[in-house]
Chains A and B, each alone.
Chain A
Amino acid sequence: MAAISLQQRQNLRMFLRILLQSLRIRKSRVLIAFCSILIGAAVVFALLSLYFDISIKMSRELRAYGANFFVGAAETGQPTLEADIYRRVLEQIPAQRLVGASPYLYGVARLDLGNAVLAGVDFTGLRRLSPFWQVEGKWVAVDFDEEHCMIGRALARNMALKVGDQLRVFKRETGFNQSLTVRGIVETGQAEDDQIFVNLSLAQKILGQPGRINHAMLSILSRDFDTDALAARLKEQWPGVTAAPLRKVSYSEGKILEKIKGLMALVAVIILAATTFCVMTTLVAMVVERTREIALLKSLGAENRSIVRQFLIETCCISLAGIAGGMLVGFLLAQLLGQAVFGAAISFRIAVVPLTLTVSLVAALLAAIMPVRMALRIAPATVLKGE
């Protein structure tokens, strides 16, 4: 019993010695292997992190297309609903999902040179809702500002108005008669080009519709969020309200996200394959150069199994160190990519860690075992004699 345990202990000591010496003496080569595994693991980690974040990041980017949800009154024509309902609808949507929202109240008002459609909006919300508005001059900045307005490009041209000009607004029915200063001229290429925009509170006064709005537009992050269910829930809660996702935007968003995700997946797979291959060839080259060492071990009576085990554990040690470093570097790399492309951090996902570990370790072990097995099949005498 004691003899066997002594034998085992000696074996273990010898094994550790070979391992340590191999790592110590071949320092520069171990360093190269470590570095190449580190780079490989870093790329794998960064790409996987980026891939898992791409939909959420791109769906935020796609909000550049503006409103994707509509809330209005159920009847046809020009019905109004209470502004209070709009506020309560907003409370139903998680704050981090709501990119922007604005109520709209429309009416016809008389200006110096003719009639125009006047729209009451919430400028702060509108600015986030419609980032595509091409504004010359400035946005109306505060919600209670009742001195300023913004006007459409076509209207400005027809009435010869510039930013900073005064504009008189009349409404016979309410007796409203006041001058507003044009703060900005807006161009969208659609109906807005012919309209005049003021704060909702002012529009309610001008049009004599206190506390009412026509409809509201919302921009919601719709990934993993059922806007159809939200619409159904709102309709059920307030029978006078109709709500629906805007197909023009919501339909396209899903399609585009799918394409981008597919593109990213393919690119990621290809890069992963190529990086893995690079790491493998480096490791293969390193093991191949040790054919003589393997032959020597064999001629001294080492079993095939113990040689394979030694190379395996050696590779494992280097790989684990490399992968650990690689994950750290990879996380930093992902942040760099995220900042460069989206100007936002890429979140750390725990699922990426085991994935990176598996991919890198499997690649490294495969790369080490294949050439060792090849070397084992060679007769030691031929190898030791040279070539």
Chain B
Amino acid sequence: MFIRMLRQSFLRGRKRKALAVATIVISASLISALMTISINVGDKMSRELKSYGANINLLPKSESIPLEIGGIDYNPLRGQSFLAETDLPAIKEIFWRNNIAGFAPFLKTPVRLAGQRQPVQLIGTWFDRHQPVANEPDYRTGVRQINPFWEVVGDWPEDRAFGGVLLGAGLAAAAGLEVGDRIRIELGEAERQQSAELQVVGLLKTGGAEDQSIVAPLATVQQLTGLPGKIQAVSVSALTVPENALAKKARRNLDALNTEEYDRWYCTAYVSTIAHQVEEAIPNSAARPIWQVAAGEGAVMRKIQLLLLVVTVAAFIASSLGISSLMSTTIMERSGEIGLMKALGAADRAVYLLFLSEAAVVGIIGGLLGCGAGAGLAQLISLGIFRSTVPFAPVTLPVILFTSVLIALVGSLAPSRHITRLLPAEVLHGRN
């Protein structure tokens, strides 16, 4: 009898139920889309924040103190130590290799433009080099990947060609040079001085020290300085999660962590973890997080995640209230029916049971459909803003299903109480 009443209620009041289900579908899809986006926004925005450049600096382990001001080293006696270029692919073999967005090696040496006394920096690096790594035979990396803010007028130099360079915009303006000009540089100490001719293929504008420098392919600088296969520093751009208490503790003293903490730290993509793993991978190196990028990123990411979370909660509350008021309305209009049921001897409990089961069925149907629609909606949002899809988080399904049933039940509870308290005679007489 109960099942029959439930079925009849759905068959007869089809339009009304459809309205309720539609509302829940809309709200549930919205909430599940927002949830999916909130869960993935860290990953997506982290990728966007990569435009701030590298967040880990890898240097040779060294005891000497560099005396570098404005990109020019004032310590001629500095015992130079180097890293080997051939070790670099190991960066893409660490535990968090998929979080390495790119890297670029650097080799710097002071040179003089012919006819000028002030030294300028000649920087050798990879621009967009094809560097096969494990599992990725087509991997390309270099400053074009890790420093998207570098603005070049003219062309980027070829990594494999000799002599094509970028000239810093400030230096070019001061020396009156333009794209296409040939420049003669002198390097080395007085007695072993040598000179070379380079071709300016582009002008570089960064607003930083590079504006006063010459940037050349790494191989060119290695050849000029007689340091084949040697590099001085590597900038690594890694996707990270904001630092928390554990990461701070690990930074202060790694040995203070117990085994469980260490495992948790090692298996989370904190900037300090990735720096540690890169350091392990490259022999004789010291990796340091660039806090300007790493800490700035952490601060901004926390804000964005919090923003979305708060907005999701607000949307959640608003739509729950919306659904509740709809459920109330649909129940209140059935007072005549309830009056009849009670006149025929139905107990209050039976009336409750009917309403709540109806609400549960509506909640389940609406929640399921809403989850499906929400997954699609999340893809649309993500494609629209980040130009990539988001994976569906399985946790959303139970959460959405549970909450939509809960909302429907809560929305039905108050009006059911109101309606069961009505006197059958009054209701049937027509005063509702």
Contacts and interface: CB of A to CB of B under 8 A. Distances in A.
Contacts of A354: none
A77 B110 CA distance: 12
Contacts of A320: none
A365 interface: no
Given A187-B291, A274-B26, A255 B48 contact: yes
B330 A106 contact: no
B187 to A, nearest CB: 17
Chain A residues touching B, range:
35 or more
B207 A250 contact: yes
Contacts of B151: 247, 251
A143 to B, nearest CB: 23
Contacts of A32: 325, 328-329
Contacts of B15: 288
A259 B48 contact: yes
Chain B contact residues, majority secondary structure? helix
Chain B residues touching A, range:
35 or more
Interface string B289-330: 111111110011001101110110011001101110110111
Interface in A189-235: 189-191, 193-194, 214
Contacts, number: 249
A29 interface: yes
B311 A267 contact: yes
A315 to B, nearest CB: 14
A285 B300 CA distance: 44
B288 A274 contact: no
Chain A contact residues, majority secondary structure? helix
Contacts of A249: 52
A65 B291 contact: no
B65 A65 contact: no
A188 B65 contact: no
Contacts of B70: 78, 106, 214
A277 B75 contact: no
B295 A39 contact: no
A278 B323 contact: yes
Given A58-B303, A259-B386, A115 B67 contact: yes
Interface in A122-157: 130-134, 154-155
A2 interface: no
Given A35-B325, A189-B291, A278-B322, A270 B33 contact: yes
B249 interface: no
Interface of B: 15-16, 19-20, 22-23, 26-27, 30, 33-34, 37, 41, 45, 48-49, 51-53, 56-57, 63-70, 72, 74-75, 118, 120, 147-151, 170-171, 174, 205-208, 211-212, 288-296, 299-300, 303-304, 306-308, 310-311, 314-315, 318-319, 321-323, 325-326, 328-330, 332-333, 377, 381, 384-386, 418
27 contacts: A50-B311, A58-B303, A61-B303, A66-B292, A70-B207, A76-B170, A107-B69, A108-B74, A116-B65, A116-B67, A191-B68, A194-B66, A251-B148, A252-B51, A252-B53, A255-B48, A255-B51, A256-B49, A256-B51, A259-B48, A263-B385, A266-B384, A274-B322, A278-B26, A281-B20, A282-B326, A285-B16
